[in-house]
Structure 1
Amino acid sequence: MLSPELLHALHNLPLAAKRAAEGFLHGAHLSRRKGAGMEFSQYRPYQPGDDLRRLDWRLAARSDRYYLRESDVDTSLTVHLVLDATASMNHPDDNGLTKLDYARLLLGALAYLAQQQGDAVGLTILHPAGLRHLPPRADARQLPRLYHALETAEAAGTFPTQETLAPLTARRQRALVVCATDMYEQDAEMERLLTRLRAASGEVLLLHLMAGNELNFSFRGAVTFEDLETGQRLQLNADQQRATWQPQLQQWLRATAQQARRHGFDYHQLSTAEPLTQAIREFLRRRDAMG
């Protein structure tokens, strides 16, 4: 699985998304083991370039092994991708990637997987200036539209108003909602939106993005921290604050995870310093559970 910084260095989101998705599937089956009761005469191992619509997704979810079906009826779903494009997503990790950069790669890879499976895929970019919304479609031109919207997305400002968000939950449609966000909120606004989306669609996969330097507090010496959404600044000595930072961060992460699961979200914390492996695996499992 290529690292996120190598994928980003391609400067080509369609290629990076494809490499990430197919690299995960290829790497996942390298150490495959035949299980009892499987009719392997009906399957063959996945190879990069194969049509992903022929993958046995149920088998993949159970075993993390990837095989193509010889004959089976595909099921399709609606996948609604949601990107948090508020200013805090501009936070850079030590590898040079911002949370927004990582989210672009991640959602691009998930869009590729869903489109190859025949799913209708849509995208909403949350931005204070207004929503950028591409309704779910399954046609061949949808993937380039999604890539262009992700590539041109810029993080700025604070969370959209409730009036701006209202059209997202006005229509009830069964879908898998996948949200990439850092969960930095002023007043639980992301939590309220996802709660409404879950009521309207049925399933929410919440991918909580944290930079590696936030998780490890790898800062040194005198540092000026700036709230990217409010502009508020705080000067401190990172070496002196490290012991205090870590337990407070872990307390917040635990509370965030507990609250998300209490609302019925499928919650996963991700580090922008790590490959996209975990998020892709959880997406495939959740997609299969709805199939």
Structure 2
Amino acid sequence: MAPVGQITQPTARLDALARARQRAALLPDCLAEARRVANTVIAGWHGRRKRGIGETFWQFRPYVEGESLSRIDWRRSARDDSLYVRDREWEAAHTIWLWADRSPSMLYKSDAALVGKESRALVIMLALAEILSRSGERIGCPGIMEPVASRNAAERLALALAHEPGKTGMPDLGRIGRMSDVVLISDFLDEAEAIETVIGPAARRGIRGHVIEVSDPAEESFPFAGRTEFRDPETGRKLVAGRAETIASDYRRAWLARREALSQSVRRLGWSFLSHSTDRLASEALAAAHGRLSGIPAASRAGSA
């Protein structure tokens, strides 16, 4: 038996194989859910027209909390009880690179969550691919799928993921060109400095980026009490707390400080940041992410209201 904190090489290979099989089985359901969520989000938006110069008005859409009040069209909003903003065409043709973390930590799911973190990340990624591909955008996934301009890009991406053994860690952004957007979806439990090392060079090359932090509600609220054993899914290390409730306050402060450090690091590079909890609807994160890709400001926490 391997000591605590170590995993033998055969065991690691078996764990990786099991995770790959689990993910392959999960993807068809994620794709179906992604299409449902995408249809829900765009139902009231009338889709998005082809790319233009970014100044031409083409539709009204519901106001999202956190956007600038100057974007609200008060005359249109006066017609009913809802607030509306004037939406514009996207500025130019981009390649959109989508990436969802599939590290072991993403498998975590507490009783308070609707789904696991990996499942939610995949749904958001595939739903974005569905919406963007309908508008003629080129969709790629770093290290998994080269960009394609196809209306079935979400299905092709799901198929590519199902046949990929599963890589851990942040993706390689070195081959991504300037006229691109990158969407990274993860729990981002690494140190902010390590994450900045990956996205910093891309940001300095002029690549626009969007970071979506996916978390489980238990990771933030720390609802544990009594004797509790915690295990790091990445390393296997264990920590036993005799009375878990005594460390709850310190844990919550550390958790929020980690998120704030990540948020500041990302924004300092000119990228956008939003946080999404798996006890919220996937459509909330999708709408916020779509707004960021459209250049529309949004609340930093998707569905926090």
TM-score by length of 1: 0.72
CA RMSD of aligned residues (A): 3.5
When residues 111 and 201 of structure 1 are mapped into structure 2, their CA distance, relative to the original with a 3 A threshold, is farther
The residue aligned with 2:122 is 104
- Three-state SS of the structure 2 residue aligned to 1:79 is strand
Residues 164-206 of structure 1 show CA distances to partners (whole Å, capped at 9, x for unaligned) of 83xx313523111100011112583332212223234521110
Identical positions, percent: 21
Summarize deviations over 1:53-104 as a string: whole Å, max 9, x none.
47977744856859999xx999643111022222221222323632111101
Q: Could you tell me which residue of structure 2 aligns to residue 84 of structure 1?
A: 101
Q: Does the C-alpha gap of structure 1 residues 141 and 111 become closer, same or farther in structure 2, counting only changes over 3 Å?
A: closer
Contact persistence 1:93–1:213 (CA under 8 A): yes
Q: Matched residues in 2 for 1:73 and 1:267: separation?
A: 20
Instruction: Give the secondary structure class of the aligned counterpart of 1:289.
Output: coil
1:195 to 183, 200, 219: 200
Instruction: Provide the C-alpha distance between the structure 1 equivalents of 2:213 and 2:87, rounded to a whole number of angstroms.
Output: 31
Give the 3 Å change call, closer, same or farther, for CA 211–86 of structure 1 in structure 2. same
- Any unmatched runs of 5+ in structure 1? 1-7, 30-44, 125-131
The one-letter code sitting in structure 2 at the alignment partner of 1:133 is I
Going from structure 1 to structure 2, the CA distance change for 1:191 and 1:244 (only over 3 Å counts) comes to same
In the alignment, what sits opposite 2:274? 268
Gap change, CA 1:92 and 1:183, over 3 Å in 2: same
| Cα 1:240/1:191, change in 2 over 3 Å | same
Uncovered stretches (5+) of structure 2, i.e. residues with no partner: 1-24, 52-56, 64-70, 73-82, 297-305
Give the corresponding residue for 1:247.
253
Deviation of the 1:242 alpha carbon = 1.5
Preserved contact between residue 78 and residue 121 of structure 1 (Cα < 8 Å): yes
- Code of the residue aligned with 1:194 in structure 2: it is I
More deviation, 145-154/57-66: 57-66
Query: TM-score, normalised to structure 2's length?
Result: 0.69
Q: Which residue of 2 aligns with 1:3?
A: none
Superposition pairs of residues 272-291 of structure 1, within 5 angstroms? 272-289=278-295
Counterpart of 2:230 in structure 1 is: 225
**Is the 1:13–1:151 Cα contact (8 Å) retained in structure 2?**
no
Q: Give, in whole Å, the separation in 2 of the partners of 1:152 and 1:211.
A: 27
**Residues 1-291 of structure 1 correspond to what in structure 2 (within 5 A)?**
12-26=29-43, 29=44, 46=46, 53=49, 59-60=60-61, 62=71, 76-94=93-111, 95=113, 97-124=115-142, 132-150=143-161, 158-159=168-169, 165=172, 168-185=173-190, 188-200=193-205, 202-236=207-241, 237-289=243-295
